[in-house]
């Protein structure tokens, strides 16, 4: 499935950008000769909301879903982490249920919904936000373009249930595009920031524990109602993760810190470092004492 939306979106040759009103000719159905062909050469980049829907569908935690059903990759030269849907060694999607088609069809990822349309995020120079455009790719194996049915991109998106996914992913797309557009001005994020990006984007259950932890509450000033909401509502937690990522990636003050939190963190870290140093000294002293009691050659004197 080569019409995956590259994140950040890129192409050696810029495809023709279509608008929501543009029309396309396409219909995929079980009776078509190429049915499931795209699933047998799957290259599906997953978005945060894709992960949320899949973990619910498969009854797994986000951590377990990532371990069992995805493979990691780097989205840019700075090592920004992404995940793809796992396939077998020949490229067949593991969610393909033989001739019956997709086993998770109602919760299929964004890329699969859009196919053969690709969602593009295009931002003019100095524009504050990106505009959504679309392109259509015709692959040699796909016969869906040969039928008579014609409809607008808007109608096709509605038919495929794309808007629910886009509404939960749109802010994340903007984050990725901003990271790409900023280039050297932002620089390579520290390793800790990359790990936080992975957790907040994909491992939502671990991110929830992180947000509800005592350390997080002691660091950030958030309304109690928000804590209750993110504790129970995955979508609310996902939206909050985007606020958190703006702060992690770009230093935006999207979440107010508790007064004096930074100074307390520095003090706590110094205490941890001192405790570790003291334990290491004690370990070395115990090793020296043991060596002396053995007469220096491992034998008791």
Mean pLDDT of 97-102: 90
Q: Does 8 sit behind a cis peptide bond, omega within 30 degrees of 0 on the bond before it?
A: yes
Task: Tell which residue, 186, 194, 159, has the closest CA to residue 252.
Answer: 186
| Dihedral angle over CA of 273, 274, 279, 283, nearest 10 | 100
Asked if pLDDT for residue 276 goes beyond 70, the answer is: no
pLDDT (tens digit per residue) in 143-197: 999 999 999 999 999 999 999 999 999 999 999 988 887 765 556 788 999 999 9
Asked if pLDDT for residue 12 goes beyond 50, the answer is: no
Cα 109 to Cα 77, 95, 162, 164, 247, distances in angstroms: 25, 11, 9, 11, 27
Q: If pLDDT is split at 50, 70 and 90, which confidence band does 284 have?
A: confident
Q: What angle do CA 219, 222, 224 make, to 5 degrees?
A: 120
Helix 62-69 and helix 48-58: axis angle, to 10°? 90
Q: If pLDDT is split at 50, 70 and 90, which confidence band does 2 have?
A: very low
- CA–CA dist 117, 120 (Å, integer): 10
Asked if pLDDT for residue 4 goes beyond 70, the answer is: no
Q: If pLDDT is split at 50, 70 and 90, which confidence band does 11 have?
A: very low
Q: Give the per-residue pLDDT at 55.
A: 98
pLDDT (tens digit per residue) in 50-61: 999 999 999 999
Cα 174 to Cα 28, 135, 156, 213, 244, distances in angstroms: 30, 18, 23, 28, 14
* Segment holding 83, helix H or strand E: strand 81-85
What's the whole-model pTM score?
Answer: 0.79
| Dihedral angle over CA of 273, 194, 246, 118, nearest 10 | -170
Q: What are phi and psi of 253, to 5 degrees?
A: -85, 70
pLDDT (tens digit per residue) in 203-241: 999 999 999 999 999 999 999 999 999 999 999 999 999
């Amino acid at each position: 499935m080569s019409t995956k939306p590259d994140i950040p979106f890129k192409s050696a040759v810029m495809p023709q950008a279509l608008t929501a009103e543009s029309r396309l000719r396409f219909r995929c159905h079980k009776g078509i000769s190429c049915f499931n062909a795209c699933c047998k050469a799957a290259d599906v980049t997953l978005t945060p909301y894709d992960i949320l829907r899949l973990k619910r569908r498969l009854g797994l935690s986000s951590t377990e879903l990532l371990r069992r059903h995805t493979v990691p990759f780097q989205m840019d030269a700075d090592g920004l982490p992404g995940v793809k849907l796992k396939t077998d060694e020949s490229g067949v999607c593991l969610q393909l249920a033989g001739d019956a088609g997709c086993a998770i069809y109602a919760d299929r990822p964004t890329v699969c919904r859009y196919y053969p349309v690709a969602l593009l995020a295009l931002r003019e120079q100095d524009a504050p936000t990106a505009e959504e455009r679309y392109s259509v790719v015709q692959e040699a194996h796909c016969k869906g373009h040969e039928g008579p049915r014609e409809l607008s991109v808007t109608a096709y998106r509605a038919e495929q249930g794309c808007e629910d996914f886009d509404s939960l992913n749109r802010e994340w797309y903007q984050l990725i595009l901003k990271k790409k557009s900023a280039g050297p001005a932002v620089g390579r994020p520290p390793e800790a920031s990359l790990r936080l990006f992975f957790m907040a984007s994909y491992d939502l259950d671990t991110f929830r524990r992180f947000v509800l932890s005592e350390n997080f509450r002691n660091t950030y000033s958030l309304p109690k109602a928000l804590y209750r909401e993110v504790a129970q509502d995955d979508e609310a937690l996902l939206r909050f993760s985007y606020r958190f990522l703006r702060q992690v990636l770009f230093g935006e003050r999207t979440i107010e810190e508790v007064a004096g939190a930074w100074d307390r963190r520095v003090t706590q870290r110094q205490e941890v470092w001192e405790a570790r140093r003291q334990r290491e000294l004690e370990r070395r002293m115990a090793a020296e004492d043991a060596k002396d009691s053995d007469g220096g050659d491992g034998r008791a004197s």
